[in-house]
Amino acid sequence: MRTRLACLLTAIASVSLSSNVAGLSWREVAIAQTVSPPLPEQAITTQPSFSVTYTPAETQRGQEVQDFLQQARVFEQLLLRLNDVYALPEPITLNQAECGMVNAFYSPNDRQITMCYELTDYFFELFAAQRQPGDPPIELPTISTLAFVMLHELGHAFIDILDVPVLGREEDAVDQFSAVLLAQTGGGRATAEAAATWFYLSSQQQNPANIPYWGEHSLDLQRFHSIVCMLYGSSPEEYAGLMQGLNIPERRQAMCQQEYANALENWDEILEPIRIAP
């Protein structure tokens, strides 16, 4: 288990963004992270559907994180690709800000996703504590996990703006949205693996007495297994060894493939009306 999780982090180093997305369906968009060369300044523009803003941080550490994000242009690159693929009836703003807590959230009243600087800092600390000699820089899994979280919040926004009916917990639905979207490419799968690693590490640090069983989210270990399930469903041969290492029964493995196929078809149908025609 430990070996596989270390491999998940190592795999992120080979991820790059796809720059040719015009005319592709949502399942083909490679939304991984910013290991690729930075986009030219003139290519990063505000488009109708998605835009990125920064609220100036007040603390020194917040300013350091803000500087990192602005220089890396993590979300600008992600959303530039999305602007090439989707046209929403209402625009969404992705604001990065100091929140006073580790969090990310979507606000339906102003159609805004907020990514807190504290969340980025938390990921830095989480992955730094686990880093071994030879592992990639902690910026890589941090950026990948931020991408997963951003897509999770984008799932909330799609459900709100497109009035998508959700049977079950919405938090589970948007976790699935993020995992299924990323599972379409090798780079995207590496990004989802980083998020799975986050949930696994977090679950190991929790005191059972303090686990919020009443929360709107599934438990961290459940979220880990849910992402792994979607990854296996997208590429059974690639993840067969991991499923065996986790002692996942064959019957459950087969269900993962069906659940992945269902989620892929459902989200494809949901997003088809807002896809920009090639």
Distances (CA, A) of 129 to 61, 126, 205: 18, 5, 12
Q: Where are the domains of the chain?
A: 2-18+28-206+215-273
Q: Shortest CA distance to 70 belongs to which of 53, 50, 51?
A: 53
pTM (2 d.p.): 0.82
Contact (CB, 8 A) for 82 and 50: yes
Q: Which of 41, 49, 128, 39 is nearest to 84 (CA)?
A: 49
Q: What is the mean pLDDT of each run of 10 residues along the chain (278 residues)?
A: 37 32 30 38 53 96 96 88 89 96 96 97 94 89 95 96 92 96 92 95 84 84 96 96 94 96 94 84
For 16-42, the pLDDT digits (tens) are 333 222 222 333 333 333 334 444 443
CA 189, distance to chain mean position in Å, is 10
Could you tell me which of 1, 18, 10 has the C-alpha nearest to residue 188?
18
pLDDT, residue 134, reads 86
255's enclosing H/E stretch is helix 250-271
Rounded to whole angstroms, the Cα distance separating 203 from 211 reads 9
pLDDT at res. 14: 33
Rg (CA), the chain: 18
**Phi, psi dihedral angles at 69 (to 5 degrees):** -65, -40
Alpha-helical segments (H) within 25-90: 60-72, 74-85
Cα separation, 271 vs 265, in Å, equals 10
Instruction: For residue 113, give the DSSP letter.
Output: E
Using CA atoms, how far apart are residues 145 and 245, in angstroms rounded to an integer? 23
